Structure 1
Amino acid sequence: MLDAGARRIIDPPLNMLGRHVARTGIGANAVTLAGLALGLVAAGLIYADRPWLALLFLAISRLADGLDGAVARATAKTDFGGYLDIAADFLFYGAVPLAFVLNDPAANGAAGAFLLASFYFNATSFLGYAILAEKHDMETAAQGSKSLYFSNGILEGTETIAFFVLLCLLPGLFAPLAWVFGALCYATALLRIAAAHRIFTTTESP
């Protein structure tokens, strides 16, 4: 819901930084993998019961996640780069809740499982919608120039990162926060499916 507005704010400085990085010879895929590595370090720190330190790595990781696209735009965008970026994002999104569950399975297990299942469902609705949008030659740049069609929803990347920051600031509230955010993820996926039904349902000729 907030991604389009956030992109208008962060894209200009990211594009400028991306041009500088591109001139050093560092490729977009390398930035993607660095961002993923930093995100996994953040998850490891959460597991090690150091969520405040994890915030630093989480922030740098998400900076890299935005910067890889800027580097690609300054050089050459590739389909594989977009594929690698979304795969890295989903791994990071799953690693953070998993770290909270492993840190305290008794307190966080049920809520974490609910949250991860909601991520799985939401990701499926997102990727399925992108496939249908590609088939119907749909395009959008509302959330920046992307290799995949990014359909909007109640919860998007901006809200998810804000949620992860909140979890690191208030780790003792993981369970109630996870139940609420997971429910909103399910709602996002269901609304996306309803939109897909409205847009992509066609009657084939006999």
Structure 2
Amino acid sequence: MFDARLRPLIDPTLNKGGRWLAEMGIRANHVTFIGFGFGVAAALFIALGSLWLGLLCVALNRLCDGLDGAVARINGKTDLGGYLDIVLDFFFYGAVPLAFAVMNPGANALAAAMLLFSFYANGSTFLAFSTMAEKRGLETDRQGSKSLYYLGGLAEGGETIAVFCVMCLWPSGFAILAYGFAAICVLSAAARVIGSAKLLS
């Protein structure tokens, strides 16, 4: 919901960082893999109960996620880069709830399962529409310059990362946060289904 509003605020800084990395010869895919490494580290730290380190790695993962796109806009976007960006993001999004479940199975497992279900529902509407949009030649830059065209929703990347950060800061509230955000994700998925049906009919 907030991603489109955040882009004009964060893109100028990310573009400067991306230009600097590109001048050093660093490719967008390198940044994507480094970011994924931070994402894996975040999940491992959370599972082990080192939540401040987990929070730091979540932030570094997101920084890399912004920088890889900035580098790609300078060096030229590729299909492989777009593919890796979205796939590794989804791996990361799934790893964090799983990590909280591992950290405290008794208190967190069911809530984590509900959150993962909602991510699955939301992700399927996101990716299925992008496939149909590609067939029809639909494009938008509302969420910034992306490899995929997708419909915005209540639950997007910004909201997801905000919730992950609050979970790290308030681990005892994980179940409350997970159930609440799962409900938002399901509503977002339903809205995307309705919006996609209108656009594709």
TM-score by length of 1: 0.96
How many residues matched? 201
Give the structure 1 partner of residue 99 of structure 2. Answer: 99
Q: Does 1:14 align with 2:14?
A: yes
- Deviations along 1:89-127, one digit per CA (max 9) or x if unpaired, are 000000000000011111111111010011011100000
Give the structure 1 partner of residue 145 of structure 2. Answer: 145
Distance 2:96 2:12 in 1: 28
Identity of aligned residues (%): 52
Give the structure 1 partner of residue 189 of structure 2. Answer: 189
Give the structure 2 partner of residue 40 of structure 1. Answer: 40
Give the structure 2 partner of residue 24 of structure 1. Answer: 24
Distance 2:150 2:36 in 1: 20
Gaps of 5+ in 1: 202-206
Distance 2:41 2:90 in 1: 15
Gaps of 5+ in 2: none
Deviation at residue 172 of structure 1 after TM alignment: 0.5
Deviation at residue 134 of structure 1 after TM alignment: 1.2
Give the structure 2 partner of residue 49 of structure 1. Answer: 49
Deviation at residue 57 of structure 1 after TM alignment: 1.1
TM-score by length of 2: 0.98
RMSD of the TM alignment (CA)? Answer: 0.7
User: AA paired with 1:94?
Assistant: G
Distance 2:196 2:49 in 1: 41
Distance 1:129 1:58 in 2: 28
Question: Which structure has the greater CA radius of gyration?
Answer: 1
- Deviations along 1:153-185, one digit per CA (max 9) or x if unpaired, are 011100000000000000001011101100111
Matches within 5 A, 1:72-111: 72-111=72-111
Give the structure 2 partner of residue 125 of structure 1. Answer: 125
